[in-house]
């Protein structure tokens, strides 16, 4: 094994360290093409790697790129992490890392903070999310809208130029600052000249939604609309005062209107949800979550089990235990997991909402990991997490 490689792939590093075999690596690579997750995360999900080993391998990759360790030392260190079951920092000390630390690093987070593209607080938050989800730092920052795709590309290019000694750190930082200014000035200029406008949003009128949900007739809507215009009241207020709907249904309809507007719910499913809320007295969260049950079991659609495993909520063992414990129960998988105590109602609703939005093309698996991580960390619903991330209004 040469000690002069400028970089090394994660799988290669793990194979050289005798932690992974080529068959398991190839299977993980194939699976990652479908889930769009990093290969390392796939290996953890399959139980082949521990989180500690994955974290160590990723850090060692970075150190090799920074020319702070050579490939031989990286392999030696990773073996210590795996076979002695210690954290990467302790393993580095055992391998004599301090003696090699002779040059400044060009870590992505460091240069983004120095270029004033992000703050230390936002960086730390993104680093925590990256560690929890297994997604790369830059990708996390883009998904959580802390960084644009363009600036991430510029920052990654800058890293390479610093490491190849084609730019000094100071030159690179100034270049990133200029890139940030140009991007902001360019977008502002387009808007001021009327050359750019955000795309229009789909919408469904309140009356149309209520009619589609079979809660009122078109005649009822026209009557209340006339009254609302004459008395200068909102249509919803008149509908409640006239006894056509109650306040709970009105509030739910307004929430569902927003979901149609931000494209997380189609008008067709919006009417089904509102009908279920009115007739069964369930919440918006439960109604939107249950849409996942109504979707066809097409092989192209992501399954609830996939969402649970990819987002780290339930492993294969958890699912098997849940099924065994509730083997007499004929209800769907979600109810089985509830019966087994693996998840609670709120988390199940979020998973089902997540499943629906993936299958509708609103988000992908990578997005799902970020949103579900926030749901679990902050104990909020899936749509509340979407709002916090700024993906919907």
Domain extent at residue 341: 293-393
How far apart, in whole angstroms, are the C-alpha atoms of residue 20 and residue 17? 8
CB 74 within 8 A of CB 88: no
Reported as half-sphere exposure (CB side, CA atoms, 13 A), residue 270 has a value of: 27
Q: How high is the pLDDT of residue 330?
A: 38
198: nearest Cα among 2, 51, 393: 393
Q: How high is the pLDDT of residue 148?
A: 82
Q: How high is the pLDDT of residue 106?
A: 67
Confidence class for position 192, pLDDT limits 50, 70, 90: low
Q: Do 277 and 207 lie in a common domain?
A: yes
Q: Do 91 and 148 lie in a common domain?
A: no
Q: Which helix (H) or strand (E) holds 12?
A: helix 10-16
In a domain, 5, yes or no: no
Q: Do 188 and 211 lie in a common domain?
A: no
In a domain, 82, yes or no: yes
In a domain, 137, yes or no: yes
Q: How high is the pLDDT of residue 327?
A: 47
How far apart, in whole angstroms, are the C-alpha atoms of residue 369 and residue 307? 8
In a domain, 288, yes or no: no
How far apart, in whole angstroms, are the C-alpha atoms of residue 82 and residue 58? 14
Q: Which residue has the higher pLDDT, 251 or 89?
A: 251
289-301: pLDDT as tens digits: 877 655 545 555 6
Number of structural domains (the chain) is 4
Q: How high is the pLDDT of residue 320?
A: 75
Q: Do 235 and 148 lie in a common domain?
A: no
Please give the share of the chain, as a percent, with pLDDT higher than 70. Answer: 82
For residue 2, pLDDT over 50 is answered with no
Longest Cα separation, the chain: 84
Q: How high is the pLDDT of residue 313?
A: 82
Q: How high is the pLDDT of residue 194?
A: 53
Please give the share of the chain, as a percent, with pLDDT higher than 90. Answer: 12
Q: Do 122 and 58 lie in a common domain?
A: no
Which of residues 100, 130, 160 is at a domain's end? Answer: 100
Q: How high is the pLDDT of residue 101?
A: 42
For residue 317, pLDDT over 70 is answered with yes
For residue 184, pLDDT over 60 is answered with no
Which of residues 81, 100, 119 is at a domain's end? Answer: 100
Q: Which helix (H) or strand (E) holds 261?
A: helix 247-261
Taking residues 159-178, report their average pLDDT: 78
Q: Which residue has the higher pLDDT, 26 or 105?
A: 26
In our burial notation (b when 16+ CB lie closer than 10 A, e otherwise), range 199-212 reads eeeeebebbbbbbb
Separation of first and last alpha carbons in the chain: 53
223-253: pLDDT as tens digits: 787 677 667 778 888 899 888 999 999 999 9
Q: How high is the pLDDT of residue 188?
A: 53
How far apart, in whole angstroms, are the C-alpha atoms of residue 90 and residue 110? 23
Q: How high is the pLDDT of residue 220?
A: 81
Mean pLDDT check: name the lowest of 60-64, 96-100, 384-388: 96-100
Q: Do 393 and 297 lie in a common domain?
A: yes
In a domain, 2, yes or no: no
Q: Do 206 and 187 lie in a common domain?
A: no
Q: How high is the pLDDT of residue 100?
A: 45
Q: Do 113 and 72 lie in a common domain?
A: no
Q: Do 298 and 393 lie in a common domain?
A: yes
Which of residues 69, 100, 131 is at a domain's end? Answer: 100
- DSSP for residue 264: S
In a domain, 145, yes or no: yes
332-390: pLDDT as tens digits: 567 777 766 778 888 888 888 888 888 888 888 888 888 888 898 888 999 999 988 88
Model's pTM, two decimal places?
0.52
Structure-derived torsion over alpha carbons of residues 117, 120, 121, 123, reported in degrees to the nearest 10: 70
110-158: pLDDT as tens digits: 888 988 889 999 999 888 888 777 777 888 888 888 888 778 877 877 7
Q: Do 92 and 112 lie in a common domain?
A: no
Taking residues 57-61, report their average pLDDT: 85
Q: Do 248 and 299 lie in a common domain?
A: no
For residue 211, pLDDT over 80 is answered with yes
How far apart, in whole angstroms, are the C-alpha atoms of residue 41 and residue 18? 18
Q: How high is the pLDDT of residue 298?
A: 54
Q: How high is the pLDDT of residue 268?
A: 86
What average pLDDT is seen over the chain? 79
In a domain, 162, yes or no: yes
Q: Do 119 and 56 lie in a common domain?
A: no
In a domain, 374, yes or no: yes
Q: How high is the pLDDT of residue 97?
A: 75
């Amino acid at each position: 094994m040469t000690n002069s490689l400028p970089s090394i792939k994660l799988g290669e590093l793990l194979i050289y360290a005798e932690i992974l075999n080529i068959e398991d690596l190839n299977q993980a690579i194939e699976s990652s093409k479908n889930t769009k997750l990093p290969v390392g995360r796939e290996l953890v999900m399959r139980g082949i790697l521990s989180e500690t080993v994955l974290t160590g391998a990723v850090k060692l990759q970075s150190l090799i790129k920074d020319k702070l360790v050579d490939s031989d030392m990286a392999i030696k260190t990773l073996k210590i992490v795996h076979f002695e079951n210690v954290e990467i920092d302790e393993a580095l000390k055992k391998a004599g890392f301090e003696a090699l630390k002779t040059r400044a690093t060009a870590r992505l987070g460091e240069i983004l903070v120095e270029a004033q593209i992000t703050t230390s607080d936002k960086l730390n938050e993104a680093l925590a999310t990256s560690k929890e989800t297994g997604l790369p730092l830059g990708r996390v920052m883009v998904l959580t809208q802390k960084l644009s795709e363009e600036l991430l590309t510029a920052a990654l290019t800058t890293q390479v130029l610093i490491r190849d000694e084609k730019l000094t750190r100071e030159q690179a930082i100034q270049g990133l600052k200029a890139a940030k200014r140009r991007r902001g000035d360019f977008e502002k200029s387009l808007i001021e000249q009327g050359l750019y406008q955000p795309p229009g949003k789909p919408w469904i009128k309140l009356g149309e939604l209520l009619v589609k949900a079979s809660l009122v007739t078109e005649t009822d809507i026209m009557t209340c609309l006339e009254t609302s215009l004459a008395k200068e009241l909102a249509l919803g207020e008149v509908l409640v005062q006239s006894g056509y709907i109650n306040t709970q249904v009105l509030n739910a309809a307004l929430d569902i209107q927003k979901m149609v507007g931000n494209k997380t719910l189609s008008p067709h499913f919006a009417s089904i949800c509102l009908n279920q809320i009115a007739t069964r007295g369930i919440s918006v969260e439960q109604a939107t979550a249950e849409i996942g049950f109504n979707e066809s079991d097409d092989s192209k659609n992501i399954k609830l089990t996939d969402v649970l495993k990819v987002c780290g909520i339930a492993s294969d063992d958890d699912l098997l235990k849940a099924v065994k414990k509730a083997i007499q129960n004929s209800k769907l998988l979600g109810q089985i997991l509830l019966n087994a105590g693996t998840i609670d109602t709120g988390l199940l609703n979020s998973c089902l909402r997540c499943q629906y939005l993936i299958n509708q093309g609103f988000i992908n698996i990578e997005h799902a990991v970020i949103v579900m991580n926030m749901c679990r960390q902050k104990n909020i619903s899936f749509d509340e997490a979407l709002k916090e991330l700024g993906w919907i209004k």
